[in-house]
Structure 1
Amino acid sequence: MPATERAIELALTAAQAAADKKAEDIVVLDVADRMAITDAFVVTSAPNERQVMAIVDAIEERLAQLPEKAKPVRREGERGGRWVLLDYVDIVVHVQHTEEREFYSLDRLWKDCPVIEFVDRDLPAPA
């Protein structure tokens, strides 16, 4: 069963919040068929710890502003700012330092999962 509409809405909202803070390489994965505990992963990265934390804060703020407010049930890794995980039950957001992203390669681990298309609304439309 694919990700729910709610999970897709949360994931795309989180992805846009990350993009607004200049996150790099944003990927949204539908993991619903592979995991019983969540429907989607949002994976993104930043080149330094300060930007990782800014992205995390922006995602939390944006999801809390939704009509059906979303708050993470768990937030891990914030102390080091190298890999922060936000668990919203329907989605799990991974904001990683670029080095951690390359080393752990979550994209490769979950490559068999369908990608949920995300297009940054601030990027110009392709010609």
Structure 2
Amino acid sequence: MSATQQAIELARAAAVAAAGKKGSNIEALDVSEKMALTDIFLVISAGNERQVGAVVDAVDEAVRGLGGKAVRREGEQQNQWVLLDYTDIIVHVQQLEVRQTYSLERLWKDCPLIDLQLPAAPEGQDAE
């Protein structure tokens, strides 16, 4: 079994919203084969606490716009690693240093990536 279409749509909307707030290195991992609690881990980097907050707000607004509701939110007081659990997807917004330290992609490396179909970054900006 792989991620549901609904989960993929939520992840894509969240990724677009995050990219709009300069979230970077956005990856979606299909964890549905390994984990019963969710279909997708969406991992997003942000440069600092303020940017983490902006990305979290944008993601939450986009997912709520599609009918999603966070059943759990963690880490917003420090804004170093914020977790948003929408049941179908779990969004991790991490400051760069935290992401490098915990390396969720390495821990879940046997899970397939989902094509988020993000628009290309404007010329002169790195897509990651």
Please say whether Structure 1 and Structure 2 have the same fold, judged by a TM-score greater than 0.5: yes
Q: Residues of 1 paired with 2:118 and 2:37: CA distance?
A: 27
TM-score of the pair, normalised by structure 2: 0.92
Q: Is 2:17 the partner of 1:9?
A: no
Q: Which residue pairs with 1:110 in the alignment?
A: 108
Q: Aligned partner of 2:95: which letter?
A: H
* 1:68-90 alpha-carbon deviations (Å, 9 max, x no partner): x1110000000000000000000
Query: Secondary structure in 1 aligned to 2:105?
Result: helix
Q: Which residue pairs with 1:29 in the alignment?
A: 29
Instruction: Identify unmatched segments of 5+ residues in structure 2.
Output: 123-128
Q: Aligned partner of 1:97: which letter?
A: Q
Q: Is 2:63 the partner of 1:63?
A: yes
Q: Which runs of 4+ in 1 moved over 4 A?
A: none
Q: Which residue pairs with 1:86 in the alignment?
A: 84
TM-score of the pair, normalised by structure 1: 0.92
Instruction: Identify unmatched segments of 5+ residues in structure 1.
Output: none
Please state how far the C-alpha of 1:102 moved relative to its aligned partner: 0.2
Q: Residues of 1 paired with 2:31 and 2:64: CA distance?
A: 23
Name the Cα RMSD after superposition: 1.0
Q: Give the count of matched residue pairs.
A: 122
